[in-house]
Amino acid sequence: MLLDITDSDVYAALEGFFKLIVPPGTPIVRGQQNRVPMPSVSCVVMTTIGAPRRIGTNAESIEVAVIDFTADSSITADSLVTADSGGGVSGFSADRSVAADSSVTADGGVSRSGGIAGFIATIEADFEYSVQADFYSPDAESWAMSAELLWRGKIGWAFMPEGMKPLYSEGRMQLPLVAGENQWIQRWTMTLVLDYAPTFTQSTQAATVARVVPEAIDVLFPNVFPAVFTADSEITADSDLTI
């Protein structure tokens, strides 16, 4: 399964954040896009800087997926159920039976809720994610200052979704450009750093009943097992058996 938060989600959240600052209708675009020209009007351009830097270790958990039993479901005497993420296993004795609507609990007991269908493992960690914001406008300085104030305040924290909370901002400066008409274009840039916390989820299946079907190996693989001994076959001490 893919991560629950991707870079596209980060850009979508930042676009909403910048809409708090710039006038309605101002283009807010992602940088480094092929065959996409720069907007010809005042705009905001967002670009990822480097790779997300890990700032925390993995946090892992395992959950048991449970489904309801149907009326004709059963658990046989040789069923084996993993009880917890640590590998603990509980089984059934030959004289123990489980009702059709029962399930196995973590301590090997029986409950009436449902049956174990699988396990769901989740892994998450925190990363420092840096995005450069370039403001192109006669009011670019005001936009950059407003972005810094909001990013470091309660409004920015409340606005950004879980898994993408603001950490800090840095590098606010003026970097003007000269256009093709030899005219100055006002540009202010800054870096917004957020706590990027994606979660990876992996589901696995489990079984409460195992059916063993024997196969005639000598029939399926006659070249491997060419000889079949009958009940009255005799093997002497000097017999030579090869496979």
Distance CA 58, CA 194 (A): 18
Verify that 80 and 129 share a domain, yes or no: no
111 lies in the same domain as 191: no
According to DSSP, residue 77 is labeled: T
Q: Say what the pLDDT of residue 105 is.
A: 41
77 and 109 in a single domain? The answer is yes
**pLDDT at residue 2, rounded to an integer:** 77
For residue 170, is it within any domain?
yes
Instruction: Tell me what pLDDT residue 112 has.
Output: 41
Of 71, 89, 123, which residue is a domain's last?
123
Single out the residue of 191, 188, 171 nearest to residue 42, CA to CA: 188
Kindly provide the b/e burial profile for residues 114-137, where b requires at least 16 CB atoms within 10 angstroms of the residue's own CB. Answer: ebbbebeebebbbebbbbbbbbbb
Q: Which residues of the chain have pLDDT under 50?
A: 71-113, 243
**Whether residues 23 and 114 fall in one domain:** no
Domain that holds residue 134: 7-54+125-199
Q: In this structure, are residues 134 and 39 in contact, taking their beta carbons and an 8 Å threshold?
A: no
* pLDDT, tens digit, 9 for 90 and up, residues 5-17: 999 999 999 999 9
The pLDDT tens digits of the residues spanning 136-194 come to 999 999 999 999 999 999 999 999 999 999 999 999 999 998 888 888 889 999 999 99
- Cβ-contact 93, 47 below 8 angstroms: no
Residues 43 and 136 in one domain: yes
Q: Which of these three, 101, 123, 145, is where a domain ends?
A: 123
119 in the same domain as 24: no
Given this model, what pLDDT does residue 96 score? 37
pTM above 0.85, yes or no: no
Same domain, 40 and 91: no
User: Are both 22 and 113 inside the same structural domain?
Assistant: no
| CATH number for position 192 | 3.30.70.1700
Whole-number pLDDT of residue 226: 58
pLDDT at 42 (0 to 100): 95
Within-domain flag for 225: no
Which residues, at least 6 apart from 239, have a Cβ–Cβ distance to it below 8 Å? none
Would 81 be classed as within a structural domain?
Answer: yes
Asked if 29 and 132 sit in the same domain, the reply is: yes
Question: Is 80 domain-assigned?
Answer: yes
Work out how many domains the chain is built from and give that number.
2
User: What are the φ and ψ backbone dihedral angles of 134, each rounded to 5 degrees?
Assistant: -110, 125
Same domain, 12 and 100: no
Answer whether residue 235 is part of any domain: no
- Do 38 and 68 sit in the same domain of this protein? no
Examine the domain organization and report whether 184 and 133 are in the same domain. Answer: yes
Instruction: Please say which residue of 106, 123, 140 terminates a domain.
Output: 123
Domain-embedded: residue 40: yes
